[in-house]
Structure 1
Amino acid sequence: MFGNFIYFIVALLIYTTYQPSDETNFTLFGSLGLCLFLTLVFAQFTRSVFRKLEYRILQNRLFHLDHRFDQLVTRQSILAVTLFAIAIYGLNLPSFFVNVPLFRSMPTLLAILFLALFVFFLSIVWAGAYRCHRLMHRSDVSLRSYVVSNIMFSAPVLLPWVILSGVLDVIYALPFEGPKRLLATPEGEIAYFLLFLTTVAVLAPVLIQWFWRCHPLEDGDIRHRIEAVCRMARLKYSDILYWPIFGGRMITAGVMGLVGRFRYILVTGGLLKQLAPEEIDAVIAHEIGHVKRYHLLFYLFFFVGYLLVALVPLQLIIIAVFYVSPSYYFIEMLSINQTTILNIGIILLFLVYFRLIFGYFMRNFERQTDTYVYELFNSATPLISTFQKIVLTTGQSPDKPNWHHFSIRQRIDYLKKCEADRSWVKRHDRKVKKSIALYVAVILIFGGIGYSLNFGESGKRIDRHFRETMVQRELQRVHRELQASPENADLHRLLGDLTYEAGELKRAIDAYGDAIRLAPNDATAINNLAWLLATSEDTALRKPATALELALRAATLDPAPHILDTLAESYFINGHIQKAIEIEALALKKARKGRAYYEGQIRKFKEFRAKEEIGD
């Protein structure tokens, strides 16, 4: 089940790293048609592989095929992620909808739409797996309940991002400049993120228990036993709830919530019906262990740590890849740009980080909470018998591997070792503490490297040399391609960008001029030439009148914020200060990113006007 969390987050990364483009591989109907075709092929293939497994189960009456079932679910889920990536990157589906007025003002709605498409792909897998699941686990849960339970269990992992992004959409849609101005600064972004993270960490259980359709456990002997165990552990909580996952037939329990007022103890009907009272006590003690050993707090810290652990390796990998000539030319041959490498790196590092590192901590935290039973009771025998009942009632192998739990046999064996020698409890606690200390040390090291790369002098030198190297290599590539395609306007525009970056302004003017000659309606080339002529440090190259003429032409073609900024700058150097302020204000109103820059431009224009008025 927990694997679904990774699939959902990877799908979110795939969507959020995609940059919509006007240039798509197919037309709208072509992309939709291909998406439908691939979906039908995927659905048929999924149905076929699970029908074969179902036949084997029925023929042999074997329940040891559980591992094969999990393999197929994993494989088909990965194919669902792949199909989603094709729909986003290969078929460019978001590019056809980003300019719809509703989605342009509320981009989160479009994200929800495409994430719903991913949920549909995964639902095909769950629907195909249903019959095999029912046979192997001797379950009478309905198809609808099985699919909905999978969706409802996994979807809350996306809620924080949806709320975070949705609130930002609302802020930018409202006519209040204060919040927008605050969010335009790095300090404001960090403050908003930390405030949001804290709020979600505290209040999320309230939303999740509603999302999972939990309801309070009725008053009675079982509730009283659970309450007694919580009192024994001095655990504060809000309520004890039924957890109706997969019809409530699973033998499982859970705890969620960092703060007692918003903490919930979750139990399934299957656990209450099939376990003895002492076994229920042991399971609740296990769940309490997650709170008492601060695992929930560490998980939150672990998610934040990903930002540091991921950022630094990505920067180093990109620098290394583009500095090493063979790898650079190989990437160039495959026509892979830096953004694509960055996006692939983000997803791969996420998988490594959560599947391996996070998985390591989850497995060892689970073992630590298994041994927490000894904090409340003299023996873990009831917990051992619970594991044995899970094997008997589900038919799953006790040796079944799991990335976030040790196998049931491994958990039973370790508890038996603790029964014979309690020093094994302390040994494992020490192992967990050492692992956390090592993790924190690595995080601090990465934090130091990240600070040096992004804010230190050494990082600035590396960045400057990296940019210069990349510009020269790109210039060589563009010159080669221009020899083969001298009438390619995009190449001439790119040549202009690169020579401008290299400080060769006269060559940049010529290149932009060639691009405009070949593509008279290329707003980007027109805008870039206007900006150069308006802001060049070489006064001999400045042409205010020509810059204004070009900027007006570019803004007519595409009134994007950065193009309006060029127009405002052009009005400014031509002495039309009020007009410059008005146009820059319009650019600020349209901008969703970099708002501090546009505000700085407005201040510059107003300060200049104020000085002129004083001079007069």
Structure 2
Amino acid sequence: MLYTDAIYLILAILLFSGWPAQAVLTWPEVLALWVLKEICFIGITLFKLKKTYSPIDFIRTQSLLKLFAFLWFSLDVILLEIPAFLPFQKEFLKDLSGLILFFHYLFLIWWLSALYEKRSALAKLSPSSYVISHFKLLLPFLIPWFLINLLFFVLEKHLPVSGIWAELFYFGCFVGALVVLMAPLAVRAWNCRPLPESNLRQLISSYLAREKARLGEIYLWETFDGRLLTAGVIGVIPKLRYLLISRGLLAALEEAEVLSVVAHEVGHIKRHHMFWLLVFFVLFSLIIYFVFMPLYLLFLAYFPRPDLLDVFGGQGLLLPEAFMTLGLLISVVLYFRFLLGFFLRNFERQADLYCLESLGTAHGLIKAFKKIAALSGNTEDLPSWHHYSIRQRIEFLLAAEKDPTLIAKHHQKVKKWLTFYLAFSLALILGLSRLPTKQLEEKAKLNLAYGEFLKEASIFPSKETFTYLGHLAYELGKEKDALKWYKMALKFEKDPEVLNNMAWILVTSKDKNLRNPKRALKLALEATSEKLTAIHLDTLAEAWFANKNPEKACLYSILAEARARLDPDYYPNFDYYIKQKERFCNAARSSSKVP
């Protein structure tokens, strides 16, 4: 529940702040459509909830409704283009607006879900308590985000660093706020209070001391009025790390079963799972910064149909900004839902095994699992992307009791995959961060401009459009396409620049199949007859040289150098003409010595 909601919040912020919304409809039209859409959302949500007849149906429906909420939110952003109507475009305020809009869908789902809740432990909660409890679960993550973003928003013009260092400084502050504030905020937001002195507390404390599991405190977890059947450990720093146990779980389990659940949570501590979750978050952020952006620029620079990249803003499919936003959304889902989900499931299995390792038996944990499943509505086979099902967990524990070698094998498996994950992530970051991003950015801009002129040429063909297409195609290394566009430009009007450029490609092309020295010479002669410039004379010299006439190549290179010397401001690369003259004239002298 908590992980899923957090992923949806990240997706909502990325979509709302990154999508290139443009105000096409008027504000009254958007408001009318939004109200209509709101009514449809409530109606569909009620319809789906009324069709739930068991706790499993209810849990699955609630998960589906969260996806539905994100899709509905996406309509607000993509079709109604609500971000374009905001009176401000500051990143923090925009992100906050997106969160509020998305949260209102979650609040509707939670409020209506309270009316149809099928899990007996939560069925009697009032809608307001139900909504507040769900929201409080997210507060330990939202508050650090809000505080750090607010701080940077206020101090934006007074930061001691800028550029990439400002981004890294922000990221470091945010991670630090999560590490320091999240656990203390959680125990306050979740209405936790220290577990009273009792035989159970002494039993748990003795076990923690024996296992050398360092904790700040043991708390009763009072979220949802303490009715949740759950326990957990939160916090990376030992003094700010807390063991949480709900009153509902304590009421349902015997002391030995509670101790087994505590052993499971200690397994998370001993296997450093909280630290690894922080590593996953940090590395994801670094991958997005150092890997995603270079890959995105590569995509823009080498996309074979750049005309499709500009269609949304001018009546077509998608803008480059939209592609970037969609790429980020897909990256979040793949990384957290699937990659992190794989590790979370195996971390849970490691924690289960720690109960078996430290207590010598998993009997208490298995009994606890069965009771939780029964009290939750027979949810033994309910799948979860971040947990194995209860039945799978029980079966593995029973198998490990019979064959203890499975324990070491599983720990080895997790260690191997963590090592591979770290090595692959660091290799990606180090490898792709070395890509020449400035050059890629320039090529991406050229490719996007090429796409714009492709669109324009399909609607308003003209000599100028085809000429620009030829220039851009040549800059992009598409010499064959450049020749095609130059030929189409010549159909409108003879242009010495176009003739010269065609001659240059035909005589210097990297693709030897495109080279045609004779035609290049003819085109270069036409260009110089129309307009005599150093550039055209240089092309003519190159054409004569390609036609095995170094003497004439030398002659025209001398003329090109002289012409460039007369206008140094127009020909700043004067050294180039000197080198060309030396090259051709040396070749001419060498050929004259041959008997």
So what's the TM-score if we normalise by structure 1?
0.70
Distance (Å, rounded) in 2 between the aligned partners of 1:82 and 1:239: 41
Which residue in the other structure is 1:524 paired with? none
Which residue in the other structure is 1:238 paired with? 216
2:227 corresponds, among 249, 254, 261, to 249
Structure 1 position 81 matched with structure 2 position 70:
yes
2:258 corresponds, among 280, 283, 289, to 280
Deviation readout 1:10-65 (Å, 9 max, x if unpaired): 11222232456xx5122223222222221111001111221132xxx3xxxxxxx4
Distance (Å, rounded) in 2 between the aligned partners of 1:401 and 1:444: 32
1:158 corresponds, among 142, 146, 150, to 142
Deviation at 1:362, TM superposition (A): 0.2
- Contact 2:140–2:183 (8 Å) recurs in 1: no
Structure 1 residues 199 and 71, CA gap change in structure 2 (3 angstroms): closer
Distance (Å, rounded) in 2 between the aligned partners of 1:135 and 1:401: 16
**Counterpart residue type for residue 449 of structure 1:** G
Which residue in the other structure is 1:217 paired with? 195
Deviation at 1:460, TM superposition (A): 5.0
Structure 1 residues 314 and 212, CA gap change in structure 2 (3 angstroms): same
Deviation at 1:221, TM superposition (A): 2.1
- Contact 1:66–1:397 (8 Å) recurs in 2: yes
Structure 1 residues 151 and 201, CA gap change in structure 2 (3 angstroms): same
Deviation readout 1:575-604 (Å, 9 max, x if unpaired): xxxxxxxxxxxxxxxxxxxxxxxxxxxxxx
Structure 1 residues 13 and 468, CA gap change in structure 2 (3 angstroms): closer
1:169 corresponds, among 145, 153, 164, to 153
3-state SS of the aligned residue for 1:25? Answer: coil
Q: Give the 5 Å matches for 1:568-587.
A: none
**Counterpart residue type for residue 7 of structure 1:** Y
Which residue in the other structure is 2:566 paired with? none
**Counterpart residue type for residue 4 of structure 1:** D
Deviation at 1:97, TM superposition (A): 3.0
Distance (Å, rounded) in 2 between the aligned partners of 1:118 and 1:187: 31
1:418 corresponds, among 385, 400, 405, to 400
**Counterpart residue type for residue 253 of structure 2:** L
Which residue in the other structure is 2:7 paired with? 6
3-state SS of the aligned residue for 1:452? Answer: coil
2:317 corresponds, among 335, 344, 350, to 335
Deviation at 1:202, TM superposition (A): 2.5
Distance (Å, rounded) in 1 between the aligned partners of 2:382 and 2:62: 15
Structure 1 residues 205 and 50, CA gap change in structure 2 (3 angstroms): same
- Contact 2:373–2:380 (8 Å) recurs in 1: yes
- Contact 2:257–2:365 (8 Å) recurs in 1: yes
- Contact 1:134–1:140 (8 Å) recurs in 2: no
Deviation at 1:321, TM superposition (A): 6.3
- Contact 2:217–2:241 (8 Å) recurs in 1: yes
Moved more, 119-128 or 323-332: 323-332
Fraction of identical pairs, as percent: 28
**Counterpart residue type for residue 97 of structure 1:** L
Distance (Å, rounded) in 1 between the aligned partners of 2:352 and 2:117: 27
Q: Give the 5 Å matches for 1:4-43.
A: 4-18=5-19, 23-43=22-42
Distance (Å, rounded) in 2 between the aligned partners of 1:199 and 1:215: 23
- Contact 1:314–1:346 (8 Å) recurs in 2: no
Distance (Å, rounded) in 1 between the aligned partners of 2:227 and 2:50: 24
- Contact 2:219–2:242 (8 Å) recurs in 1: yes
Distance (Å, rounded) in 1 between the aligned partners of 2:386 and 2:441: 39
Structure 1 position 474 matched with structure 2 position 465:
no
Which residue in the other structure is 1:383 paired with? 365
Which residue in the other structure is 2:102 paired with? 118
Q: Give the 5 Å matches for 1:410-489.
A: 410-453=392-435, 456=436, 461-481=439-459
Residue correspondences, number:
465
Distance (Å, rounded) in 1 between the aligned partners of 2:190 and 2:28: 37
Deviation at 1:331, TM superposition (A): 6.7
Which residue in the other structure is 1:528 paired with? none
1:271 corresponds, among 233, 249, 252, to 249
3-state SS of the aligned residue for 2:433? Answer: helix
Deviation readout 1:519-557 (Å, 9 max, x if unpaired): xxxxxxxxxxxxxxxxxxxxxxxxxxxxxxxxxxxxxxx
3-state SS of the aligned residue for 2:215? Answer: coil
3-state SS of the aligned residue for 1:150? Answer: helix
2:133 corresponds, among 106, 124, 149, to 149
3-state SS of the aligned residue for 1:183? Answer: coil
Which residue in the other structure is 2:545 paired with? none
Distance (Å, rounded) in 1 between the aligned partners of 2:318 and 2:456: 15
Distance (Å, rounded) in 1 between the aligned partners of 2:59 and 2:93: 33
Structure 1 residues 87 and 330, CA gap change in structure 2 (3 angstroms): closer
3-state SS of the aligned residue for 2:399? Answer: helix
Structure 1 residues 325 and 189, CA gap change in structure 2 (3 angstroms): closer
Distance (Å, rounded) in 2 between the aligned partners of 1:154 and 1:125: 15
Moved more, 428-437 or 372-381: 372-381
Deviation readout 1:327-353 (Å, 9 max, x if unpaired): 754874733111100001100111111
Aligned-residue CA RMSD in angstroms? Answer: 2.9
**Counterpart residue type for residue 190 of structure 1:** L
- Contact 1:314–1:345 (8 Å) recurs in 2: no
1:94 corresponds, among 75, 79, 83, to 83
3-state SS of the aligned residue for 2:385? Answer: coil
Q: Which structure: larger Rg?
A: 2
Which residue in the other structure is 1:47 paired with? 46
Distance (Å, rounded) in 2 between the aligned partners of 1:45 and 1:240: 42
3-state SS of the aligned residue for 2:232? Answer: strand
Distance (Å, rounded) in 2 between the aligned partners of 1:322 and 1:274: 60
**Counterpart residue type for residue 319 of structure 1:** L
Moved more, 245-254 or 127-136: 127-136
**Counterpart residue type for residue 247 of structure 1:** D
Deviation at 1:410, TM superposition (A): 0.7
**Counterpart residue type for residue 262 of structure 1:** L
Structure 1 residues 470 and 12, CA gap change in structure 2 (3 angstroms): closer
Deviation readout 1:290-329 (Å, 9 max, x if unpaired): 1111111111110111134445356436634663435754
3-state SS of the aligned residue for 1:325? Answer: coil
Which residue in the other structure is 1:323 paired with? 302
Distance (Å, rounded) in 2 between the aligned partners of 1:329 and 1:31: 27
- Contact 2:12–2:70 (8 Å) recurs in 1: yes
**Counterpart residue type for residue 89 of structure 1:** I
**Counterpart residue type for residue 167 of structure 1:** L
Distance (Å, rounded) in 2 between the aligned partners of 1:273 and 1:119: 33
Q: Which sections of structure 1, spanning at least 5 residues, go unmatched?
A: 58-64, 503-616
Q: Give the 5 Å matches for 1:417-566.
A: 417-453=399-435, 456=436, 461-481=439-459
- Contact 1:308–1:443 (8 Å) recurs in 2: no
Distance (Å, rounded) in 2 between the aligned partners of 1:279 and 1:35: 50
Distance (Å, rounded) in 1 between the aligned partners of 2:305 and 2:167: 39
Which residue in the other structure is 2:479 paired with? none
Deviation at 1:477, TM superposition (A): 2.6
Q: Which sections of structure 2, spanning at least 5 residues, go unmatched?
A: 477-595
**Counterpart residue type for residue 348 of structure 1:** I
**Counterpart residue type for residue 188 of structure 2:** W
Distance (Å, rounded) in 1 between the aligned partners of 2:102 and 2:374: 35
- Contact 1:242–1:269 (8 Å) recurs in 2: yes
Moved more, 422-431 or 140-149: 140-149
Distance (Å, rounded) in 2 between the aligned partners of 1:409 and 1:374: 17
1:201 corresponds, among 168, 171, 179, to 179
Distance (Å, rounded) in 2 between the aligned partners of 1:476 and 1:113: 37
Distance (Å, rounded) in 1 between the aligned partners of 2:143 and 2:223: 18
Which residue in the other structure is 2:165 paired with? 187
3-state SS of the aligned residue for 1:242? Answer: strand
3-state SS of the aligned residue for 1:240? Answer: strand
- Contact 2:309–2:320 (8 Å) recurs in 1: no
- Contact 1:400–1:408 (8 Å) recurs in 2: yes
**Counterpart residue type for residue 323 of structure 1:** Y
Structure 1 residues 387 and 411, CA gap change in structure 2 (3 angstroms): same
